[in-house]
Amino acid sequence: MAAFCLYNNASSLDAITHFHNIRLNYIGKRLDRDNGSECIPKALSLYIQTLQHTKVLFSRRLLDALGRLQAQPLLNDHDIQKLDDIDLDILGRWVVPDVKNFTPWIKSDALTKQSAEQTLKAWSKKAFQAFLERGAATLESSVDFAAVLALRKKALDIWLAAVSTTLTHSSTSVLEGLRDLFNTQLKNILLKEAQALLSVGDSVKSHLNEWQKTDASGRQSLWDPDLLSLDVSDGATTFQRAITETLLGQDAKITNVLEVYHAWLATIETSRQLIEDLQDTKWEDTLDEDEDEEFQDSTVDLLTKDDPYLLREEQIKAVRQALLDLQGLFEDVIQTFDSNSEKAAFVLRLIRDLRRESPNIMQDDEMEFAQGIVPELHEILAEEILSKVPASNIIPPVKNIARLPGRSLWEKTPELPIQPLPSTFRYFKRLVEAMEDLGPDLWNPSAVNLLKLKLHKSAIDSFASKLEQLKSVDSTEDKGDADEAEKKEMPVKTDPNPARDWRIQLLLDAFYIRDVLSVQIDGIDPLDDLIETLQGEIDEDGIAGALQESAHEFWNRTQLLFGLLSHH
């Protein structure tokens, strides 16, 4: 620096300014993107060293050195005379007097302590701002959350170890700047990690666009003998996975999407754990023991409480938004289904599995993924089942009303039916078989209740057509009774009344169906209206109660045969 003053006829302050400019440029070069993010701690160290060196220079070291240069002719300086390159002991006699007697004069800038600190702080503020700007640009290329956290730790270690011995424009501003520098990039990484969930949506769309109808009969059963041949070593992992996939209907499409989701989930969980680990960092070991206790406490709180909280909230926000975006994608794709039950089942299973394995960071969140579209998918399933097993099959039309199936099995006095019509029993058996063919794992309580509600309403139509047929029979019987009344001399003999028997049987079937389809209905229950109508037409005390008891008893005996209906 003394040489700079001699060469440029510069003052001591000019020399320090030149020193600052060189260091500032070099800090910028250190932070060049091509050097990678590892250069950030090195640039920070150079910034701190410059401040510490400047403090030394302002403590008269430079002025003393310059003063010694001005105390005597330059060529009389012992250090200069020892220089071999100029050979003063040989060539000195040819040096002209003006050169031999040249004594440097350097402008003195004897700064006060206050002005020296102002100069140092001005450069500190300018240099640190440049450090932050170039550092942020360099960090943009860093996408590894753990690597950026490691850089953060290294940079903060460097600063906290030097804070007690380094004069800056504001030690608080430096700490806040470093925190903001790394937190900004960490938040960006968390956002990108969360947004990667859309790759799950891309996988779903790809499978739906390339959809090929699958054979329901080819679906593996839990009782498939092939399962017995699976490897049961190492804790029977393969066997357990096969059982789970079969039980949950996880075919190759589902498995493929879940692999993408699990990879995303692992990334989110790794970052979550790293954020949690920030709370355990022992910054007290880095801070100078002589540092102010209040400063130590506030610094530790910022780094172990505030920063983890900030990053955790940012991750929750990003993951929540990513789930909402995926939910929106699901809402869009189901509009292309055209009531395709297989596609609906595919998406339902995915929604169920995504809910079952939601990110740990969202455990306390009340968000229910895809809650709005699940009823629509259940609607598609219910319509598919009722199209295969229409409710008109419950009481199919018969040509001969005089023949009532199961009439010979009536018991008690008077004779009453003790079980529903065979067609009613067969209908619910086929209904459950259709549900199982579509996939037993799909029928959660909401789906079953929706199916029951639809069946509740459509079952009435089957009864209505039968009652209309019985009314026509009643009209014919009334005419016959009038003709018989004219023959008063003949003794009256009670003939079997098939229409009445049918109504009694239909009443028991109505009670039975109400037990099978036990579900809460808003407003008037059409099945209750039907039961009331049938009771009025039979008009015999005690019959309705006995029929209801028989229907309920038969349901208790047979409900295990209709597991998907009876368990909800």
Q: What whole-number percentage of the chain has pLDDT above 70?
A: 86
Residue from 194, 175, 193 nearest 306 by CA: 175
- pLDDT over threshold 70, residue 493: no
pLDDT band at 568; cut points 50, 70, 90 = low
Supply the pLDDT for residue 2: 72
DSSP 411: B
Q: What is the mean pLDDT of the chain?
A: 85
Provide, rounded to the nearest whole percent, the portion of the chain with pLDDT above 90: 48
Query: For the stretch 214-232, what's the b/e string if a residue is b when 16 or more beta carbons lie within 10 angstroms of its beta carbon?
Result: eeeeeeeeeeeeeeeeeee
DSSP-based helix, strand, coil % in the chain, nearest 5 = 75, 0, 25
CA–CA distance, 280 with 294 (Å, rounded to integer): 20
pLDDT for 488 equals: 46
Mean pLDDT of 213-232: 59
pTM for this one? 0.81
Q: Does 222 or 319 have the greater pLDDT score?
A: 319
Condensed to tens digits (0 to 9), the pLDDT of residues 81-125 reads 777 777 777 777 777 887 777 777 777 776 778 888 899 999 999
pLDDT at 494 over 70: no
Q: In the numeric block, which tokens belong to residue 446?
A: 């909401």
Mean pLDDT of 476-480: 53
- What pLDDT, on a 0 to 100 scale, did the predictor assign at position 525? 79
Sequence-distant (≥ 6) Cβ neighbours of residue 92 within 8 angstroms: 75, 100
Q: pLDDT tens digit string along 120-147?
A: 999 999 999 999 999 999 999 899 999 9
> Above 90 in pLDDT, residue 168?
yes
Question: Please, which pLDDT band fits residue 495 given cuts at 50, 70 and 90?
Answer: very low
For residues 451-473, one letter each, b for 16 or more C-beta atoms within 10 angstroms of the residue's C-beta and e for the rest, the string is bbbbbbeebbebbeebbebbeeb
Q: What is the pLDDT of residue 225?
A: 65
- pLDDT band at residue 223 using 50, 70 and 90 as cut-offs: low
Determine contact, residues 323/195, Cβ cutoff 8 Å: no
pLDDT, position 221: 61
* Amino acid at position 346, single letter: F
Q: What is the mean pLDDT of residues 366-374?
A: 89
Question: Is the N-terminal amide bond of 104 cis, ω within 30° of 0?
Answer: no
Q: Tell me the DSSP string of 195-221.
A: HTTHHHHHHHHHHHHT-----GGGSPP
Using the predicted structure, report yes or no on whether residue 376 has a pLDDT greater than 80: yes
Helix orientation angle between 341-356 and 307-333, rounded to the nearest 10 degrees: 170
Q: What average pLDDT does the segment 329-341 reach?
A: 87
Comparing 446 with 494, which gets the higher pLDDT?
446
**What is the pLDDT, as a whole number, of residue 477?**
55
* Of 184-188, 282-286, 392-396, minimum mean pLDDT range: 282-286
Rounded alpha-carbon distances, angstroms, from residue 539 to 109, 280, 402: 121, 80, 21
